[in-house]
């Protein structure tokens, strides 16, 4: 490796690696390379830190937690003899606290890290690939290898009139200075479900609409149950719709939908569009450089994170799949190691856990029943409702279920999903089981702590062979 570079990015012989994008993936790649002694140009454009800390995970989850606190006070009555009540006393203060958390983490986990790595030069500017390397603000930056990690942005749905409507995105919805009285959420994916419930719990009248169903990638039993729970909280959920047009009238937004051949109008003060995210690939010169893009706009990579152009890699949301911050960091680390050490490491997402931070939370790993069948695997399933889990009974909250999928012949676990108030903290146990090729029988024979949500996995595993309703406490 060459000697360490200066902090202003000026080097005579160029860099070992140029990383385009200064979010979670970009920092992961740059730090990984610097730890191996490489000289790295980390190229950022705009707010440092990327989606997760600035406009995604951090701000949304702190707002979701705040809404949970509100709901929890009102839900105390599920315990005999208790009563509680809470409300939003100062929306602007809530938003300001969220902004302060974002600012603190951006500084601590991104800006302050740069001086800790002498091998990283941070370059600010718009980047574009050229034949010899990278242009930053039209100035050439020579680099031996390149990693593109420019992330993704909210996508606009194809609804007639949408371009003339002042709609919110997952970013701008969390920046509102005033809480909306009513909100129309277009899209039933994880972002739509999370934010719809958050706003509803803080007092906004919320209607959700989607062309398919909630959480299309989730098991049908999970999605249907979640829809019921959202409706129980006063959220209007409309699924399987056709959108005719959207327009602004008299200070409100009206979406016209088609219901069995007749037009119906849905009106709200604000509309929030959560219909997916598009990879940030525009204006990078990718296609001119010979880098192939997928139909969804993502950069096509192989299992080593290599693009179709030799020496250029890509990682994170820009590849258009596995759009989770931890997968972005994982893929970027892999790309950096491969770029510097000969492409020996393979991207593996077979035990990738995912979480939807609704309440109850939805979490999953591995194949769903439908995905396993699509791959030609003979499957068996086990479904256990939370009213069979002692933890849920003690908490007086039996909303949810657990579904496991296993190979019908070998009994090897293929995947599973959890819908439970503490499902997010339970899914990693199943991820480890899949990672190490466990059978359902082996999982069901493990020792689990009593009165925990994760004990539900043991019960679900036992459910392949027996009726767990006929077990006494801890008898399994």
| CATH 3.50.50.60 residue window(s) in the chain | 15-49+110-154+278-341, 162-275
Query: What is the CATH architecture assignment of 162-275?
Result: 3-Layer(bba) Sandwich (3.50)
pTM recorded for the entire structure: 0.94
Euclidean distance between CA atoms 336 and 340, whole angstroms = 6
β-pairing, 270-273 with 182-186? parallel
| CATH 3.30.390.30 residue window(s) in the chain | 354-466
Going from the C-alpha of 155 to that of each of 186, 256, 283, 295, 374, the distances in angstroms are 12, 20, 17, 14, 28
For residue 242, what are the contacts with CB-CB under 8 A and spacing of at least 6?
A: 211, 257, 258
Euclidean distance between CA atoms 85 and 74, whole angstroms = 5
CATH topology of domain 354-466: Enolase-like; domain 1 (3.30.390)
Query: What is the CATH architecture assignment of 15-49+110-154+278-341?
Result: 3-Layer(bba) Sandwich (3.50)
Look-up: residue for tokens 């699924």?
Answer: 239
pLDDT in tens, the chain (476 residues): 333 333 344 444 689 999 999 999 999 999 999 999 999 999 999 999 999 999 999 999 999 999 999 999 999 999 999 999 999 999 999 999 999 999 999 999 999 999 999 999 999 999 999 877 899 999 999 999 999 999 999 999 999 999 999 999 999 999 999 999 999 999 999 999 999 999 999 999 999 999 999 999 999 999 999 999 999 999 999 999 999 999 998 889 999 999 888 999 999 999 999 999 999 999 999 999 999 999 999 999 999 999 999 999 999 999 999 999 999 999 999 999 999 999 999 999 999 999 999 999 999 999 999 999 999 999 999 999 999 999 999 999 999 999 999 999 999 999 999 999 999 999 999 999 999 999 999 999 999 999 999 999 999 999 999 999 988 876 56
């Amino acid at each position: 490796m060459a000697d360490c570079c200066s902090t202003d990015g000026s080097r005579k012989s160029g860099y070992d690696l140029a990383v385009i994008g200064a979010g979670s993936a970009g920092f992961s790649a740059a730090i990984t390379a610097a730890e191996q002694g490489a000289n790295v140009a980390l190229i950022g454009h705009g707010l440092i830190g990327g989606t997760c800390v600035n406009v995604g995970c951090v701000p949304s989850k702190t707002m979701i937690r705040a809404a949970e606190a509100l709901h929890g006070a009102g839900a105390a009555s599920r315990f005999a003899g208790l009563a509680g009540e809470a409300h939003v006393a100062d929306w602007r203060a809530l938003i300001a606290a969220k902004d302060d958390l974002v600012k603190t983490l951006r500084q601590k986990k991104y800006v302050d890290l740069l001086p800790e790595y002498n091998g990283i030069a941070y370059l600010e500017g718009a980047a574009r690939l050229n034949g010899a390397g990278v242009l930053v603000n039209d100035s050439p930056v020579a680099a031996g290898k390149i990693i593109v990690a420019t992330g993704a942005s909210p996508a606009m749905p194809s609804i007639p009139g949408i371009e003339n409507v002042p709609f919110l995105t997952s970013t701008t919805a969390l920046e509102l200075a005033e809480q909306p009285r009513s909100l129309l959420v277009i899209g039933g994916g994880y972002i739509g479900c999370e934010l719809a419930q958050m706003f509803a719990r803080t007092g906004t009248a919320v209607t959700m609409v989607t062309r398919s169903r909630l959480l299309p990638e989730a098991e049908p039993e999970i999605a249907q149950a979640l829809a019921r729970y959202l409706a129980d909280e006063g959220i209007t959920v409309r699924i399987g719709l056709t959108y005719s047009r959207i327009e602004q009238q008299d200070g409100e937004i009206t979406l016209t939908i088609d219901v069995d051949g007749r037009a119906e109008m849905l009106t709200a003060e604000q509309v929030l569009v959560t219909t997916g995210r598009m990879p940030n690939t525009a204006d990078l010169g990718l296609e001119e450089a010979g880098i192939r893009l997928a139909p969804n706009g993502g950069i096509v990579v192989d299992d080593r994170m290599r693009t179709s152009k030799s020496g250029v890699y890509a990682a994170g949301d820009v590849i258009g799949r596995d759009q989770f911050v931890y997968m972005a960091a994982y893929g970027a680390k892999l790309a950096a190691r491969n770029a510097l050490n000969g492409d020996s490491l393979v991207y593996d997402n077979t035990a990738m856990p995912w979480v939807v931070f609704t309440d109850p939370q939805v979490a999953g790993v591995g194949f769903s029943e439908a995905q396993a069948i699509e791959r030609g695997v003979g499957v068996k399933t086990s479904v256990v409702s939370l009213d069979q889990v002692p933890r849920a009974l003690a908490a007086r909250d039996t909303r949810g279920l657990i579904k496991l999928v296993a190979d019908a012949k070998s009994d090897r676990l293929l995947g599973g999903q959890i819908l439970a108030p503490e499902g997010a903290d339970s899914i990693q146990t199943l991820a480890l089981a899949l990672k190490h090729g466990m059978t359902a029988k082996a999982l069901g024979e493990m020792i689990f702590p009593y009165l925990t949500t994760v004990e539900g996995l043991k019960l679900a595993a036992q459910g392949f062979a027996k009726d767990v309703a006929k077990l006494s406490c801890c008898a399994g």
